[in-house]
Amino acid sequence: MLANMALQDEEAVGMTALDTRATTRPRRRAADVPPVDKVAARRSELAAAALKTLSELGYARTSLREIAQNSEFSHGVLHYYFRDKVDLITYCVREYNAQCVTRYDGVVATAATPEELAEGFLRKLGETLVDDAPLHRLWYDLRNQSMFEPAFHDDVAAIDRSLERMIWRIVSRYAELTGRTPLTGPAALYAVVDGLFQQALLRQLAGDPAAADDLRTAVGQLLPALLRPT
């Protein structure tokens, strides 16, 4: 069994809480495979299948059996690696976050002029709008679920804050490069950019081929307006 490794209260299998399991050394003597455990790998694998299914069908229409069918396992295994549906989706949301928040870090680090930063940011913004559209609509779906389902709230709020910081890093660096300061705080700035992105996503998924271009134009136009006039 997996359950008796670390948790005594949890009645079920290896849980999310023991993501920090790397501390308890596995008793395998040598290290033919990385000791980070196959469990984490399986869980990641199943979470990937879940993310794929969720981003295609949306939260309301996604069932555990459908997720399992998008993996190479049967539906029972999901309850071996996750306590229940909420636990699985929470895990998915965390994985989504990890792949998201570093998207613009390269641009922020390398840009030497405000124009270069803006151009790099807009390019990546438009790219992810068309390339990762299903994933983004899933994020908005799950964030909305958190307004109804308190079980999701904490994880969703944490991710939203990390996205807020991501936007803040971009805009405050942009302001720095222009020698000015942002007009508002991180929350409002994020809300503005997120609103523009969400509207562009709606149009993108409706088949509007100009969605990405218009998003770039709008954000590019608004970016200077979000700085305090000198």
**Could you say whether residue 80 binds DNA (CB under 7 A)?**
yes
**Could you say whether residue 157 binds a copy of itself (CB under 8 A)?**
yes
Alpha carbon separation from 171 to 39, 165, 167, 181, 220 (Å, rounded): 39, 10, 6, 9, 12
**Could you say whether residue 66 binds a copy of itself (CB under 8 A)?**
no
Residue 227, beta-bridge partner list:
182
When the beta carbons of 54 and 129 are compared against DNA, the nearer one is: 54
Count CB-CB contacts under 10 A for residue 229. Answer: 7
Shortest separation between residue 54's beta carbon and a copy of itself, angstroms: 10
Stretch that binds DNA, among 65-73, 146-154, 162-170, 218-226 (CB under 7 A): 65-73
Tokens found for residue 30 = 């040598």
Task: State how far the Cα of 114 lies from the Cα of 104, in Å rounded to an integer.
Answer: 14
Shortest separation between residue 221's beta carbon and a copy of itself, angstroms: 6
Task: State how far the Cα of 169 lies from the Cα of 89, in Å rounded to an integer.
Answer: 28
**Could you say whether residue 144 binds a copy of itself (CB under 8 A)?**
yes
Q: Report what 221 binds from a copy of itself, DNA, none; CB cut-off 5-8 Å by kind.
A: a copy of itself
Give, in degrees to the nearest 5, the angle at Cα 94 between 52 and 137. Answer: 45
Q: Report what 9 binds from a copy of itself, DNA, none; CB cut-off 5-8 Å by kind.
A: none
**Could you say whether residue 167 binds a copy of itself (CB under 8 A)?**
no
**Could you say whether residue 206 binds a copy of itself (CB under 8 A)?**
yes
Tokens found for residue 36 = 């980070």
Which member of 23, 29, 102, 207 binds DNA (CB under 7 A)?
29
Q: What is the 3-state secondary structure (H, E, C) of 98-141?
A: HHHCCCCHHHHHHCCCHHHHHHHHHHHHHHHHHHCHHHHHHHHH
Contacting residues toward a copy of itself, per CB under 8 A = 57-61, 137, 140-141, 143-149, 153, 157, 160, 183-184, 187-188, 190-196, 198-202, 205-206, 214, 218, 221-222, 225-226, 229
